Homo-oligomer: A and B are copies of this chain.
Amino acid sequence: MKKHKLFTPGPTSIPEEVLLEMAKPIMHHRTEEFLKIAKEVFEGLKYLFQTKNDVFILASSGTGAMESSIVNLFSKSEKIIVINGGKFGERFVEIGKAYELNVVDIKVEWGKSLSKEELEKIIEENRDAKGVCVNLCETSTATHFDVKGYGEIISKYPDIVFIVDAISSLGAIPCYMDEWKIDCLLTGSQKAFMLPPGLSFISLSEKAWERVEKSNLPKYYFDLKKYKKSLEKFDFPFTIPVSLIVGLRKSIQIIKEYTLEKIWEEHKKRATATREGILAMGLSLLSSCPSDAVTGVILPEGINGDELIKFIRKTYGISIAGGQDKLKGKIVRISHLGWQDEFDVLTAITAVGVGLEKFGYKLNIEKGIEKAKEILFSH
């Protein structure tokens, strides 16, 4: 008997009560019954985003929300600064270039972060820039970026909007849209929201909406101005994924009951225990500024990460993620996102340890478990 557990940074495990909610007979999206649910969800999203602004739901993956941020906030050939520390920073660069923007590609070494002082210097060198894009957690390198600090800097520039991709981290680690002066915050459904993939979410500040009014980049499906007008008449500009919204209502209820603060604290504890456990085993971490959403583990020389992951999945039913692009085969990533508890940390690090042992690498699994246990159950 195998219990399949997901430690991938999306899709993540889904609570049974959410799965069953979505298995109920489907309803039409233009009914009072569904609109009542949608209103509850829209309110809940404001809590998750920690904002007074409206949050828009898109039927797309997180990448769609990233594209939406670019095509709605900018105009032809405008300059944007992208803090590019991995595959998802790179994605902002690619989207900007696809729309022929003037992209200042600030390459940050994978696994490293960028200080707010460094960002300030970059902005000063690019005073004609109209926006800064960053990932709160760069998922590919499991690295945290100082969104709070960047917001302090960027908000001093009235012509620059601040776009934050929090796809793999919103609801897992602190992120206050309004307080941190984020102009555009976006995320996806299949991470800390404990839902299947298929929805993304985006919210804009007043400063960002002023941009939307002026934006001349071509868009239709991702046009937020049109969406806003539809919502004013309590309608959606497209057929919204009804069952995912119904599931989202349940997820939001669960999150609200725990409170975000408690959920953030638990993610932090699980992430800390994972990192300390991994180090105690004798392995090392990828990131010098690790996120509490996901942990990147550097594999010993000679270990093929893809083979290791396959082995762990086939033998134990445990799914962890590998490296992407230049990190392919060289790391594994353990997600802490969403529906997990303390015991899941023991499961994940033990699976990695035992897997490595089977591949002939000697390490101290017991010490890792002991260290993690200490942190998880210390109070």
Chain A contacts to B: CB under 8 angstroms: 4, 6, 8, 10-11, 13-14, 19-20, 22-29, 31-32, 59-64, 67, 94-95, 98-100, 188, 190, 196-199, 217-223, 237-244, 310, 313, 319, 321
Contact = CB atoms under 8 A, between A and B. Distances in A.
A11 B23 contact: no
The 3 closest A-B pairs by CB, nearest first: A198-B241, A23-B23, A61-B238
A239 B10 CA distance: 8
Contacts of A32: 310
A206 B2 CA distance: 45
A197 B98 contact: no
A13 B31 contact: no
Contact of A59 (B10, B61, B99, B100): B61
Nearest to A314: B32
B4 A244 contact: no
Contacts of A6: 26-28
27 contacts: A4-B25, A6-B27, A10-B239, A11-B26, A11-B28, A11-B239, A13-B26, A20-B23, A22-B23, A22-B196, A23-B23, A27-B319, A32-B310, A59-B60, A59-B64, A60-B60, A63-B221, A63-B237, A67-B221, A98-B220, A99-B218, A196-B243, A196-B244, A197-B240, A197-B241, A197-B242, A198-B244
